[in-house]
Structure 1
Amino acid sequence: MGPGGFYQPGFNSGAKLNLHMMCFGRNWDPQTKYAARYRCDGYQAPPVPEKLVSLVKTSIKDSQAHDDKIPSMHPDIYIVNFYTTTGRLGMHQDRNESSNSLRKGLPIVSISVGDSARFSYGHNRDVRKANEVLLESCDILIFEGKSRNSYHGVKAIIPNSAPLPLLQQSKLKPGRLNLTFRQF
């Protein structure tokens, strides 16, 4: 938390998202999307760490062994969302990347760390018609192709579901970190 670290993004109306965020590569917020060079506290996004770029590329390559239609990408945006045990995120689409990235269906790679999340996804914003899957710590989810434009959200965080060794070694606060990687 603090300057250059996690912050709670919000709208001009004063409403805040029910999560904390930190961006690498490019800043994103619900008002300006990727248009603003600096975020609300004036800090510029640091570069995406190369070790994480390598992890994402390996994850995509491993997935391509099962489905060769998954496109490769070089992630230049890394958004970290932290959800407390009461955190949520409504149904939305990730469609603020460049038209070229969206047209190619370049994937979004999502890595879960910490507490499990009830993750909803579907063809529209109606959460009652959405499918649901439990994302546990260390799960990797890849949105690509047609699924790239799916509506999705975090319905609930499952308290006390993080692996105990992770908590002991990392001192992670109760909640869930979601690491998402994309190419602008």
Structure 2
Amino acid sequence: SFLKNRLPSISPDICIVNFYSQTGRLGLHQDKDESEDSLRRGLPVVSFSIGDSAQFLYGDHRDPDKAEKLQLESGDVLIFGGPSRNVFHRVSAVHPNSAPNLLLQHTNLRPGRLYLTFRQY
């Protein structure tokens, strides 16, 4: 398959949980807290978005104006690894009141965005 040839397999042993309020942001950064071996091998980061939509920016430059923009909706899964493992990225905006009504009706999720990120140390 396409991904199998491009991304190494992982056995996640870390889950980072972030909650972004409706005014939440995260500055441009790289995920590089894992072991040198994981980073060198380009082991993927796998993230699940739940709740309000968010604008996600990514690129090889530290300049947000040059970054690609992606709208992450509730239920989306984002994977970056292999040659793109160390890409700079950020959450530039959370879009208030954009979470699916069904999710809000059946959970106590407060307004904002929940982001579950799985990694292998």
Q: Same fold (TM over 0.5)?
A: yes
Deviations 1:58-86 (A, max 9, x none): xxxxxxx4422221111111000000000
Deviations 1:2-49 (A, max 9, x none): xxxxxxxxxxxxxxxxxxxxxxxxxxxxxxxxxxxxxxxxxxxxxxxx
Which structure has the larger Rg?
Answer: 1
Partner residue, 2:54: 117
Counterpart-to-counterpart distance in 2, 1:125 and 1:91: 7
* Structure 2 SS opposite 1:103: helix
1:123 maps to amino acid: D
Counterpart-to-counterpart distance in 2, 1:90 and 1:110: 17
Report matched runs for 1:14-163 at 5 Å. Answer: 65-69=1-5, 70-163=7-100
Counterpart-to-counterpart distance in 2, 1:147 and 1:83: 24
Q: How many residues of Structure 1 are paired with residues of Structure 2 in the alignment?
A: 120
Deviations 1:95-131 (A, max 9, x none): 1110110111100001000000000001122111111
Higher relative contact order (CA 8 A, sep 6+): 2
**TM-score, normalisation: structure 2:** 0.96
2:30 maps to amino acid: Q
- The alpha carbon displacement at 1:148 in A equals 0.7
> Aligned-residue CA RMSD in angstroms?
0.8
2:62 maps to amino acid: R
Counterpart-to-counterpart distance in 1, 2:4 and 2:34: 23
Identity %: 60
2:37 maps to amino acid: N
* Structure 1 SS opposite 2:61: coil
**TM-score, normalisation: structure 1:** 0.64
Counterpart-to-counterpart distance in 1, 2:107 and 2:9: 31
Structure 2 residue 119 is the aligned partner of structure 1 residue 178: no
* Structure 1 SS opposite 2:85: helix
Where do 5+ consecutive residues of structure 2 fail to align? none
* Structure 1 SS opposite 2:105: helix
